[in-house]
Structure 1
């Protein structure tokens, strides 16, 4: 099985399926389906993710709300900020 690209193919990164699970400031991402340590203000719709078969342990950077700044995740350390963007480079030839 082919590994997903660890880079963005589009500006918003909606398609990103990589394994990055750390925020810009180096905090580990909280699993998307968890309410701890940070309670999520909205229920994450599984259909908003590009991942087939996403499970409760999934804590990878994603962009389920098509944020214009790209993939992000909830901070899994329980400190502020509650969520942060992830630093994911563009694929070669993309911008």
Structure 2
């Protein structure tokens, strides 16, 4: 898939449905417990763990809540910091998309015919 974006507009944000495709780098569902059933810590909280990934450090990764995400493109899939002081992070148990595909929608601006495109994203 190839998408072009105008230089002057902010990049579009991609929202995937609540299941995994590949390693889940684009997972945007609302799962908020680890595979062992521990509640995820909010990404912006500093306790019980100080996160390396937070809404401040990675504003485009949808880290506003305590949902499972994959901000570092981990091969094992979405994960979260846990509320268990003894376990810094753990992976989440999220189902795979049927057939390995997902529908994706792009939030952004429609292209007027007179706009010159200079940024390209290729998937």
TM-score with structure 1 setting the length = 0.78
- Aligned-residue offset at 1:81: 1.9
Contact 1:48 1:64 in 2 (8 A): no
Unpaired runs of 5+ residues, structure 2, are 1-14, 102-123
- Equivalents in 1 of 2:70, 2:53: separation in Å? 14
Superposed CA offset, 1:1-44 (max 9, x none): xx9622112x210110000000011000000011111122x253
Q: Which residue of 1 aligns with 2:73?
A: 66
TM-score by length of structure 2 reads 0.61
Name the structure with the higher strand share. 2
Specify the structure having the higher radius of gyration (Cα): 2
Q: Alignment partner of 1:93: what SS? A: helix
Give the CA deviation at 1:66: 0.5
Matched residue count: 85
What CA RMSD, in Å, does the superposition of the two structures yield over aligned residues?
Answer: 2.1
**SS in structure 2 at match of 1:84:** strand
1:21–1:28 Cα contact (<8 Å) kept: yes
Q: Distance in 2 between matches of 1:76 and 1:37?
A: 6
